[in-house]
Amino acid sequence: MLAGCGGGTGAEPAAGTAPAAPAPAPSPAPTPTPPPPTAQTTPADAARLLEQATFGPTDAAITQVQAGSIAGWIDQQLATPATGYAGYPVIDASVSVGCPTGSPATCNRDHYSLFLLQNQFFRNALTGPDQLRQRVAFALSQIFVVSGVDVGTAYAMAAYQQILLDGAFGSYRQLLGRVTLSPAMGRYLDMVNNDRPNPSRGIEPNENYAREVLQLFSLGTVELNADGTPRLDGQGRSIPAYDQDTVEGFAHAFTGWTYPTLPGATARWTNPVHYAGDMEPIAAHHDPEAKRLLGGVSLPAGQTPEKDLGDALDNIAAHPNVGPFIGKQLIQHLVTSNPTPAYVARISAVFANDGAGRRGNLGAVVRAILLDPEARGDAKTAASYGKLREPALLITGALRGIGGSSDGVYLRDRSNAMAQNIYQAPSVFNFYPPDYPVQGTTLVGPGFGVFSASTAFTRSNFLNSLLAGPQRPDTTVPNAIGSQLDLSAWQALATDSNALLDRIDRVLFHGAMSATTRNTILAAVDTIPASDPATRSRAALYLALSSMQYQVEQ
C-alpha cells in the first residue's frame, strides 16, 4: 500500500551535577529551513497540516487554517491548554477487582479496566480544541509505553496519560522525570519497590526500567549520527549505545522508590499500591555505592535517591542520541514513516537548541517537524513518502471528516478489533515497532505492524457499518449517545456527482485524489439514481475512505 500509493508541568527530580555523557562526534546538522513564504495557505496544504497535527481535517478547520497561516495555527495550538482526563476517582488499586458487595454491575468495568478512559480518548480526539497536543501525547503514549495489560486501573492510567498531555510541548528532561516517577510506570517496568542489593537475601536491583528507558525512551541500542543513521566503527559496524554494566549502573541508581503514601498513612517500605502522585524515596533501600552511567560518567557514593535519580536522568537527556531517536519517531507518528536523513538532522538540531539555547524543547521540535519543507506543500508524490493510517486515526479521521459524533464506545470496540486497543499495547514495544518493514520494499511502515488480511476487512466493515446508520448507545455508559454521522451536507451535493467528489477530495484527500480513484468512485456513484442522494453519498464516502489512496496518508 505504501509503495504503491504514489500520486507538563510538575516537579521533576532535582537536577544532578554529574557531568553529562561525552557526546560522540555527530554528523553536522543542517540549519532548519523554514517553508517558503506564500500569500495564502492553500486548501490542500491546510488539509495536509490537519492530517498531521489533528485527529482529522474538517471543512471548517481547513477554512480556519487558510484564514491565517500554518505557523500561526501551530502557535495557537501550542498555547491551547490540555483537554485532559478528569473524573476518575482514586480507588483501592491493590487488587485487580475490588468493588464491594452491592456495587453497580458496571463497577469493575468502570474502575478496574480502561473502558471509560478509552471512550474519553475518542471523545477528546473528535471534539477537543487541543488537537495538536492530543496528537503529540498519543504519539508519546506509544513511545513511553505503559500498558493497561498490567496497569488496568482507570485512575492510574488517566494520571499517566495526563503527564504526557501536560508535557507534550515542554522539556524532554522534565517529561522524562515525570514519566520515571509515575507509579504507573513504576508498576509497569518494575522500578517501584526496586530494592538495594542484599547478597545475603539474593536481592539485586531490577534492571527492567533501566534497560527500557535507554532502549526505548531515549537512546536506542546503537550510537546515532544527528541524521538518525547509525555511527560506524573502523570496520563498518554499528557502535552499541551502552553495555550491560551501564544498565546495571542505572538499575542501582533507580533503587529505593515506592508508591506514594496513602493519605493519612506513614511512608514505609513498601507502601501499598497507590497511583495518586509521584513515587516516593525511602533512603534506607537506596544503593549508596558509586554507579557507572553513560559515557564513562560515574555517580559518587553516598548520594540520596533523589540526587542519584536526577543525575542519572540528566546523563540520559544530555546524550546526543536523544534528538535523532525521539525526533525521528515523532516525525513518523505525525508526518511520514520514512523521513530523509536531512529531515531528521534538521529536527535533531532543534532538539539540541531551540534557538534560545534550550535543549529538548518538545514544542519547538513539534513546530519544526510540521513546518519542515518535507512536511509542507499541497501534495507529495514519492512512493516512499507517507504512512499507513493506524486504526485510531482511520476512525477519527472518518468521523471528523464526514461530520459525526460519538460517546466513544463503538469506536473503542472497533479500534480494538483492528489491533489497536488504546492505551493497552501488548508490550512495552508498542502496538508496532518504528522500524517495521514493508514487505517487498526497503521501506519501513510502522502501522503495517497491525495490518493484516483480517484487520483490512475489519477496516472496511467498520466504514460500511458507520455509514449504514447510527450505532445505538450503551445505556450503562454515562451520557451515552452512541455513534452517528451527519450526512446532510454530503447528500445536498449528491445529485451532482462531480460536486460531491470535489468536496470529498478537499476534505479527505487534500485535493490530491488521483484520476483513477476519482473515476472509479464516479462510475460507481453514477449507477445510483440521482433521486437517491443518501445512497449516492454513502457509496461515494465508503469507496473514498476504503481506497488505498486514503488509507495511506501522503
- Domain-located, residue 247: no
In a domain, 524, yes or no: yes
pTM for the model stands at 0.92
Cβ(84)–Cβ(165) under 8 Å?
A: yes
- Grouping H, G, I as helix, E, B as strand and the rest as coil, residue 258 is strand
Q: Within a domain: residue 461?
A: yes
- In terms of Cα–Cα distance, which of 259, 190, 276 is closest to 268? 259
CA distance 103 to 306: 41
Q: What was the pLDDT predicted at 99?
A: 86
CA dist 475 to 197, 427, 442, 470, 482, Å? Answer: 53, 33, 49, 15, 9
The answer to whether position 8 is within a domain reads no
pLDDT of residue 20: 43
**Region at 297 (left for phi over 0; alpha for psi -120 to 50; beta for the rest):** beta
- Count of beta carbons in the 10 Å neighbourhood of residue 546: 18
- For residue 398, give its domain range: 387-553
Q: Is 349 exposed, middle or buried (0-12, 13-18, 19+ CB in 10 A)?
A: buried
Report the pLDDT value the prediction gives residue 95, as an integer from 0 to 100.
65
Tell me whether residue 262 is in a domain: no
Output the nine-digit C-alpha cell for 178. 515525570
What's the domain count of the chain? 1
Q: Is residue 63 part of a domain?
A: no
What per-residue confidence (pLDDT) applies to 308?
A: 98
Amino acid 212 reads: E
Helices and strands in the chain, H and E counts: 23, 8
- Residue 529 included in any domain: yes
Cβ neighbors of 198 (< 8 A, separation 6 or more) are none
Per-residue b or e along 268-299, where b marks 16 or more CB atoms closer than 10 Å to that residue's CB = eeebebbbebbbbbbeebbbbeebbbbbebeb
DSSP state of 201: G
Using CA atoms in the order 152, 153, 156, 161, what is the torsion angle rounded to 10 degrees? 50
Position 40 scores a pLDDT of 86
DSSP label at 283? G
Per-residue pLDDT at 39? 55
In a domain, 56, yes or no: no
User: Mean pLDDT for each 10-residue chunk of the chain (554 residues)?
Assistant: 40 40 43 53 97 98 96 98 91 74 91 96 98 98 97 96 98 98 98 96 96 98 98 96 98 98 96 96 98 97 98 98 98 98 98 97 98 96 95 98 98 98 98 95 96 96 96 95 97 97 97 96 97 97 97 96
CA separation for the pair 351, 94 (Å, rounded): 40
